[in-house]
Structure 1
Amino acid sequence: MKQQITKRAITESFRALLAVKPLDKITVRDIVEDCGLTRNTFYYHYEDIYDLLSDVLESEIERALSVPAGGASWETMLLDMLSFLTDSPQIGRHIFQSKCQDAMRVYLSKVISELSDRYIEQNVRDLDYSQQDRKLICDICCHALYGLLEEWLTGRSDVALEAELRRVAQLFEGTVRHALEFSAAHPRT
């Protein structure tokens, strides 16, 4: 229990620092001073900053994937699963603009892939489409969303992410169903 409280203090300090400071500029010293722990305590739980980052992103993936789908709209699922970015966009920018941007890519890919798959599973059950087309459509959604998020995180800070994601969700809502209807009406040969 005490270890969980200590890890939570470390991760909360890290997130707070990440919201105001680029990842590559955050040091273990910054974190332990912020949360009032010793360097030894930090190193008891994490090898380094990048191990901590990995833990934070894994926790976010687990949180995002634990969001129940339950017939939710594309918009609700998208905003719930990506709340890590919409709640603290600067954190996403600081990670993406660091030498650890691959960690952010993995996070986004896992979450967006699961989002697409869950949406289809929950909302487009009544059609007899091919699994190959389903995978293709999921991949297209993933790449489109990933591209938009990467562009936004690496430079388009003039756009409000949550509003942009809401619009994307509205546009995708019928598009995914339409693509699967086409797949069912025009099976692969």
Structure 2
Amino acid sequence: MPRSNQTKQLLAQSLQELMVTTPLEKISVNDIVDHAGVGRNTFYYHFEDKYDLVNWYFQSGITQFLVERSAYSSWGTLLTALETYFLENKVFYCNALAYNGQNSLQQYMFDYLCSIFAQNARELNPEIPSDRTQMAGQFFAGAMMGILIPWVFGGMKSNALSSVSDISLPVFNHDIMQQLLRGNLQ
């Protein structure tokens, strides 16, 4: 692992350890760097603020986790993979998602999921205009966040999120995606 990533991981681990006892809003950059044993300049070399660190941790962790599990194949697979990942990092995500202000993880996750679903829509039907694929991405990201956030705030009860995977709206159902892209979904 490159030294830059090691430093980022060290800072993320420091933040995670602090979040066990302290809400994210009450943790300062000074707290993070003191706990990690590095200087403030090191932190600001890698991140704009603590929320940037939170978003980096999510993006780096979830991408690796989902790619390793090929979780993009269906709604159920994606929900099950997300549940597993979030449960493995429960304290961090309960704490990080509680904040919904500027540069929040909630907004970052929504944007991240939008890009994943929009890319899937583009691959499914490359001739559809980009504004339609963006709308499809927003639609499915909103659905995912609408399930994920209440589950997190409800205490992340095991198997509760993956049990929703039985609903009849598969994210990657080609017929539904095609109808949505063409504006025919009713």
Q: TM-score, normalised by structure 2?
A: 0.65
1:168 counterpart = 2:164? yes
Query: For structure 2, which runs of at least 5 residues remain unmatched after alignment?
Result: none
Match of 1:145 in 2: 144
Q: CA deviation at 1:62?
A: 4.0
Percent identity over the alignment is 23
**Deviation readout 1:40-88 (Å, 9 max, x if unpaired):** 4333433432332343234245436645648844322333356542322
The answer for the alignment partner of 1:85 in structure 2 is: 86
Structure 2 matches for 1:61-76, cutoff 5 A? 62-63=63-64, 66-67=67-68, 69=70, 72-76=73-77
1:7 match: secondary structure: helix
Counterpart code for 1:143: G
1:100 to 1:134, Cα distance in 2 relative to 1, 3 A:
closer
Q: Which amino acid aligns with 2:151?
A: W
CA–CA separation in structure 2 for the residues paired with 1:174 and 1:99? 25
Q: Distance in 2 between matches of 1:102 and 1:35?
A: 23
Quick one: structure 1 residues 102 and 164, their matched pair in 2 at CA, closer, same or farther if it must change by over 3 Å? farther
The alpha-carbon deviation at position 173 of structure 1 amounts to 4.3
Q: Per-residue deviation at 1:182?
A: 8.3
Could you say which residue in structure 2 is the equivalent of 1:156?
A: 154
Q: Deviations over 1:80-118 (max 9, x none)?
A: 356542322332232222254653223332454466568
Question: Which residue number corresponds to residue 12 of structure 1?
Answer: 13
Gaps of at least 5 residues in structure 1 are none
What SS is found at the alignment partner of 1:163? coil
Amino acid corresponding to residue 149 of structure 1 in structure 2: L
Please tell me whether Structure 1 or Structure 2 has the larger radius of gyration of its CA atoms: 1
Backbone CA RMSD of aligned residues: 4.3
1:4 CA drift (Å): 3.0
